[in-house]
């Protein structure tokens, strides 16, 4: 067990190092941080919802660029190992294919977590600065101060980290059976869209009478419900009680999904010719 | 005739290729059902208040569903739509202005500014545009002008009634409704009731409370005004502006009442 973990971490360490050297990762990271940083300057565009605008722009950039990287990074790093034949050398050693896949995920996820941390820090820094100004202004006008839940924001950041982990695990699951990188990119993006809209398909087809609707509802369970991680508004700007319990459950659900996707992907990868 | 072993058709190997993937997907489906209790609650918590996906009409489910899936990005889209609505307002293009304003409102259900702004346009700007289109104030008879003001006021009020039902704790809608009813429909009593409704919301400011009390006092119901404002002041936090202003109003009113009873 200890040896297996050490091999997995070794793959993860190398994957993270290789991922960090990719120019597109650095460019997208800089872009996401820049968009989040611009929020304060662009807030003149908004209409009385300063804090929400800053949070939305920063976390929107994280949602977009993070999702893109969670699909592109695993496919690129996985297929570069296959194309350069380094996977053959690695797997000829006492390294199980499951360990290889788990190591790849951990390496990519580490980089995605760094992206989440940097963009969230920039966004929350902007929010905190503006919030302080608004509280002072509200006190001067004897008006209620705007509400921003920092504990909820921290929980939302954790949810985004797990969400990107789920997307990366889904993409690696695709890589485990895909023959070409192009297919894996396409299927990875397809999984992403399916995960984001699965809840809608369930609501829509759940109303259809007969077996057809029930079948579609069952099929939607194949993909993780990524909408469950979209709790930003409810956690950061709570109108009533913030859904903390639901957020914790979604965090747990996301971690279970990651484990399942890697386990099933490892099984598929074991029977695959390299 | 070719031997079965010589058959290199890709179709022959298809089941062997597809079966493991199908099995893997089935395993994911089973896992999905097991994990659903953990994630379904959070997924539902992302829906806007008062939106019930199970009961929403198909068109609403489609539109709202798409917006919900966009997450925080929809607020940015809403801001862009509202900017566009303002450009159309400058051009006095009512159809485009309405379309963009309603789009902004749908995209950002939690932002009262869009709905408030649109209702304001309906009640106070659109009738002037209609009069201008019909030839101007000098040409259009006063009766027609009054009819237009009233009709647009009613339309704005209808729009706000829906929003007040959707967000009963938002004080800005009843405050605007009060202004519209007073200015466009000339109904002071109904306007006062909207002021009371605004004042009684949890974050309601003091101005509608004083407006309501003043209306009661001016229509010969000083006792009712004192009772209501006294109760209102008691529901506001200690040292709050609302409480201080209410107490300031109540002091001479109570003296006046006492004088009358003596």
pLDDT in tens, chain B (262 residues): 444 455 566 677 777 778 888 999 999 999 999 999 999 888 888 876 656 666 666 666 666 666 666 666 777 788 888 989 999 999 999 999 999 998 888 888 778 889 999 999 999 999 999 999 999 999 999 999 999 999 999 999 999 999 999 889 899 999 999 999 999 999 999 999 999 999 999 888 889 999 999 999 999 999 999 999 999 988 888 777 888 889 999 999 999 888 888 7
Whole-angstrom Cα distance, residue B250 to residue B225? 9
> Are A228 and B205 inside 8 Å of each other by CB?
no
The DSSP string of B195-258 is HHHHHTSTT--HHHHHHHHHHHHHTT-HHHHHHHHHHHHHHSPTT-HHHHHHHHHHHHHHHHHH
Neighbours of B230 (CB within 10 A): 15
- Measure the CA–CA gap between B213 and B157, rounded to whole angstroms: 23
What's this model's pTM, rounded to 2 decimal places?
A: 0.74
Instruction: Compute chain B's Rg from CA coordinates.
Output: 29
pLDDT in tens, A136-162: 988 887 777 888 999 999 999 999 999
Q: Which residue has the higher pLDDT, A91 or A131?
A: A131
Query: Under 8 Å CB-to-CB from B63, ≥6 apart: which residues?
Result: B106
Write b or e for each residue in B193-211: b if 16 or more Cβ atoms lie within 10 A of its Cβ, otherwise e.
bbbbbbbbbeebbbebbbb
Query: How confident is the model over A163-190, as pLDDT tens digits?
Result: 999 999 999 999 999 989 999 999 999 9
**Residues B28, A223: C-beta atoms closer than 8 Å:** yes
Integer Cα distance of B106 and B59 in angstroms: 13
Q: What is the mean pLDDT of residues A124-130?
A: 93
Q: Cβ contact (<8 Å) for A228 and B39?
A: yes
Residue B24 near residue A268 (C-beta atoms within 8 A)? yes
Q: Please give the C-alpha separations between residue A135 and each of A21, A52, A144, A161, A168, in angstroms, as whole numbers.
A: 42, 15, 8, 30, 39
Contact A197 B69 (CB under 8 A): yes
Q: Give the pLDDT mean for A211-226.
A: 90
**In the prediction, which pLDDT does A170 show?**
96
Q: How much of chain A exceeds pLDDT 90, in percent?
A: 54
Residues 6+ apart with CB under 8 A from A149: A235, A236, A237, A238, A242
Q: What are the CA-CA distances from residue A27 to residues A16, A108, A139, A168, B247 (Å)?
A: 16, 16, 42, 19, 60
Residue A84 pLDDT class (50, 70, 90 cuts): confident
Torsion of CA B74, B78, B84, B90, to 10 degrees: 180
Interval B225-247: pLDDT, tens: 999 999 998 888 877 788 888 99
Q: Which among A140, A142, A132 is positioned nearest to B239, based on CA atoms?
A: A142
**Rounded CA gap, A141 and A136, in Å?**
9
Stretch (H or E) spanning B168: none
Is pLDDT larger for residue A73 or for residue B45?
A: A73
For residue B110, the chain A residues in CB contact (below 8 A) are 52, 233, 237, 239
* pLDDT at site B135: 92
Tell me what pLDDT residue B1 has: 45
Lowest mean pLDDT among A21-25, A40-44, B54-58: B54-58
- For residue A46, what are the contacts with CB-CB under 8 A and spacing of at least 6? A52, A53, B79
- For an interface test with A, the pick among B43, B76, B204 (most A C-beta atoms closer than 10 Å) comes out as B43
Backbone angles phi, psi at B150, to 5 degrees: -70, -45
DSSP state of A146: P
Q: In Å, what is the CA distance from B131 to each residue of A219, B149, B157? A: 57, 10, 20
Find the CB nearest A231 among B32, B46, B65.
B46
CB contact under 8 A, B20 and A268: yes
Q: How confident is the model at residue A259 (pLDDT cuts 50, 70, 90)?
A: very high
The pLDDT mean for chain A works out to 89
Task: Look at residue B61 in the predicted model and tell me its pLDDT.
Answer: 65
- CB B61, CB B53: distance < 8 Å: yes
Dist CA A220 CA A129 (whole Å): 42
Q: Quick check: B163 and B176 in contact, CB under 8 A?
A: no
Quote the pLDDT of residue A157. Answer: 97
Residue range A108-123: average pLDDT? Answer: 96
């Amino acid at each position: 067990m200890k040896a297996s973990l050490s091999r997995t971490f070794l793959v993860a360490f190398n994957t993270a190092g290789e991922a960090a050297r990719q120019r597109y990762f650095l460019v997208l990271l800089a872009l996401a941080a820049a968009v989040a940083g611009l929020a304060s300057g662009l807030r003149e565009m908004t209409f009385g919802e300063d804090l929400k605008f800053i949070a939305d722009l920063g976390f929107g950039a994280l949602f977009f660029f993070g999702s893109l990287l969670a699909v592109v990074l695993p496919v690129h790093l996985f297929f570069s190992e296959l194309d350069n034949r380094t996977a053959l050398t690695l797997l000829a050693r006492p390294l199980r294919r499951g360990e290889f896949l788990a190591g790849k995920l951990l390496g990519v996820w580490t980089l995605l977590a760094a992206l989440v941390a940097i963009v969230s820090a920039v966004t929350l820094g902007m929010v905190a600065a503006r919030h302080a100004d608004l509280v002072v202004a509200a006190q001067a006008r004897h008006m209620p101060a705007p509400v921003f839940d920092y504990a909820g924001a921290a929980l939302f950041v954790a949810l985004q980290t797990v969400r990107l982990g789920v997307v990366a695990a889904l993409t690696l699951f695709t890589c485990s059976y895909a023959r070409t990188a192009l297919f894996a990119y396409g299927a990875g993006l397809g999984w992403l869209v399916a995960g984001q809209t699965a809840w809608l398909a369930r609501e829509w087809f759940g109303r259809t009478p007969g077996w057809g609707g029930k079948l579609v509802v069952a099929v939607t369970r194949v993909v993780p419900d990524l909408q469950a991680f979209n709790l930003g508004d409810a956690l950061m700007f709570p109108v009533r009680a913030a859904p903390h319990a639901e957020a914790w459950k979604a965090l747990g659900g996301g971690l279970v999904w990651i484990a399942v996707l890697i386990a099933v992907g490892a099984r598929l990868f074991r029977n695959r010719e390299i | 005739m070719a031997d079965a072993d010589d058959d290199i058709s890709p179709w022959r190997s298809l089941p062997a290729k597809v079966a493991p993937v199908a099995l893997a997907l089935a395993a994911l489906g089973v896992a999905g059902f097991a994990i659903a209790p953990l994630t379904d609650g959070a997924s539902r918590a992302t829906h806007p208040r008062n939106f019930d996906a199970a009961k929403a009409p198909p068109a609403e489910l489609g539109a709202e569903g798409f917006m919900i899936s966009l997450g925080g990005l929809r607020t940015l889209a809403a801001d862009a739509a509202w900017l566009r609505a303002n450009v159309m307002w400058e051009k006095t293009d009512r159809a485009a202005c309405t379309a963009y304003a309603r789009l902004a409102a749908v995209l950002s259900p939690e932002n009262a500014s869009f709905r408030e702004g649109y209702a304001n346009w309906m009640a106070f700007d659109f009738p002037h545009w209609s009069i201008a289109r019909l030839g101007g104030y000098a040409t259009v008879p006063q009766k027609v002008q009054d009819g237009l003001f009233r009709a647009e006021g009613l339309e704005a009020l209808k729009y706000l009634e829906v929003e007040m039902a959707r967000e009963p704790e938002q004080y800005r809608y009843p405050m605007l409704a009060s202004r519209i009813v007073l200015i466009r429909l000339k109904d002071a009593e109904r306007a006062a009731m909207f002021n009371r409704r605004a004042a009684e919301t949890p974050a309601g400011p003091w101005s509608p409370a004083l407006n309501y009390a003043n209306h009661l006092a001016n229509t010969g119901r000083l006792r009712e005004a004192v009772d209501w404002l006294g109760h209102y002041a008691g529901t506001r936090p200690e040292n709050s502006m609302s409480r201080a202003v209410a107490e300031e109003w109540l002091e001479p009113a109570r003296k006046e009442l006492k004088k009358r009873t003596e």
